[in-house]
Structure 1
Amino acid sequence: MMGEAAAKPTQTFRTGTAGRAPGAIAAIACVMLLALALLPVVAGRNLIQDMIFLFYMLALAQCWNLLAGYAGLISVGQQAFVGLGGYLLFALTLLGGIDPLLAIPLAGLVSALFALPTAFIVFRLRGAYFAIGTWVVAEVYRLVFAQFKPLGGGTGMSLTPSITSSVPGIEWVKALLNVRTPAARDLISYWAALALMVGTLGFVYLVLRSRRGLALGAIRDHEGAAAGLGVDIYRVKLAVYVATAAMTGMIGALIYLQKARISPDAAFSVTDWTAYVVFIVVIGGIGTIEGPVVGAVIFYLLQRYLADFGASYLILLGTLGIVVMLFAPKGLWGLITERYDLALFPTRRRLVIPPRAEIARRVDFPK
Structure 2
Amino acid sequence: MLVAVGVGMFGVPFAFRTDVVQQLTTLCTLLIMAVMWNVLAGYGGLVSVGQQAFIGFGAYATIFLAQRGVAAYLAVVVASVASGLLAVVLAPLLLRLRGGQFAVGTWVVAEALALLVALDESLGGGTGVSLRGLNAIAPDWRSAYTYWLTLGFALLLLFLVFLLLRRRSGAAIQAIRDDEEAAASLGVRIMPLKFMLFVLAGFGCGAAGALTLANTLFVQPSSIFGVQWSAYMLFMVLVGGIGTYEGPILGAVLFFLLQDWFAQFGAWYLIGLGVVAILFALFLPRGLWSLAGDRLPFRLLPVGYTLRPGR
TM-score (norm 1): 0.80
Question: Given the alignment, which residue of 104, 111, 132 partners 2:83?
Answer: 111
Using the alignment, how far apart are the partners of 2:113 and 2:67 within structure 1? 20
Give the equivalent residue in structure 2 for 1:253.
Answer: 210
Using the TM superposition, give the Cα deviation of residue 353 of structure 1 relative to its aligned residue in structure 2, in angstroms. 4.5
1:304 aligns with 2:252: no
Give the equivalent residue in structure 2 for 1:40.
Answer: 13
Q: 223-232 vs 56-65, which deviates more?
A: 223-232
Question: Given the alignment, which residue of 212, 226, 236 partners 1:269?
Answer: 226
Secondary structure of the 1:349 match is coil
1:90 aligns with 2:63: yes
Q: 1:296 to 1:245 in 2, by over 3 A?
A: same
Give the equivalent residue in structure 2 for 1:154.
Answer: 126
Q: Are the equivalent residues in 1 in contact too, given 2:37–2:201 (CA < 8 A)?
A: yes
Q: Are the equivalent residues in 2 in contact too, given 1:67–1:73 (CA < 8 A)?
A: yes
1:351 aligns with 2:307: yes
Using the alignment, how far apart are the partners of 1:75 and 1:151 within structure 2? 27
Using the TM superposition, give the Cα deviation of residue 31 of structure 1 relative to its aligned residue in structure 2, in angstroms. 4.3
Give the equivalent residue in structure 2 for 1:4.
Answer: none
Count of aligned pairs between the two proteins: 311
1:285 aligns with 2:255: no
Question: Given the alignment, which residue of 79, 91, 102 partners 1:130?
Answer: 102
Secondary structure of the 1:331 match is coil
Report the aligned-residue RMSD.
1.7
Using the alignment, how far apart are the partners of 2:271 and 2:22 within structure 1? 25
Using the TM superposition, give the Cα deviation of residue 334 of structure 1 relative to its aligned residue in structure 2, in angstroms. 1.8
TM-score (norm 2): 0.94
Using the TM superposition, give the Cα deviation of residue 335 of structure 1 relative to its aligned residue in structure 2, in angstroms. 2.4
1:76 aligns with 2:49: yes
Secondary structure of the 2:307 match is strand
Query: Which amino acid in structure 2 is aligned with residue 89 of structure 1?
Result: T
Q: 1:83 to 1:311 in 2, by over 3 A?
A: closer
Identity %: 42
Question: Which string of whole-angstrom CA distances, capped at 9 and with x for unpartnered residues, describes residues 75-104 of structure 1?
Answer: 000000010000110111112x11222222
Query: Which amino acid in structure 1 is aligned with residue 299 of structure 2?
Result: A
Using the alignment, how far apart are the partners of 2:84 and 2:270 within structure 1? 33
Secondary structure of the 1:154 match is helix
Give the equivalent residue in structure 2 for 1:120.
Answer: 92
Using the TM superposition, give the Cα deviation of residue 132 of structure 1 relative to its aligned residue in structure 2, in angstroms. 0.8
Structure index of larger Rg: 1
Using the alignment, how far apart are the partners of 2:262 and 2:298 within structure 1? 31
Query: Which amino acid in structure 2 is aligned with residue 215 of structure 1?
Result: A
Question: Given the alignment, which residue of 272, 296, 302 partners 1:340?
Answer: 296
Higher RCO (C-alpha under 8 Å, 6+ residues apart): 1
Question: Given the alignment, which residue of 145, 156, 159 partners 2:117?
Answer: 145
Query: Which amino acid in structure 1 is aligned with residue 30 of structure 2?
Result: M
Query: Which amino acid in structure 2 is aligned with residue 282 of structure 1?
Result: L
Q: Are the equivalent residues in 2 in contact too, given 1:336–1:342 (CA < 8 A)?
A: no
Q: 1:156 to 1:311 in 2, by over 3 A?
A: closer
Give the equivalent residue in structure 2 for 1:177.
Answer: none
Structure 2 gap ranges (5+): none
Secondary structure of the 1:350 match is coil
Give the equivalent residue in structure 2 for 1:220.
Answer: 177
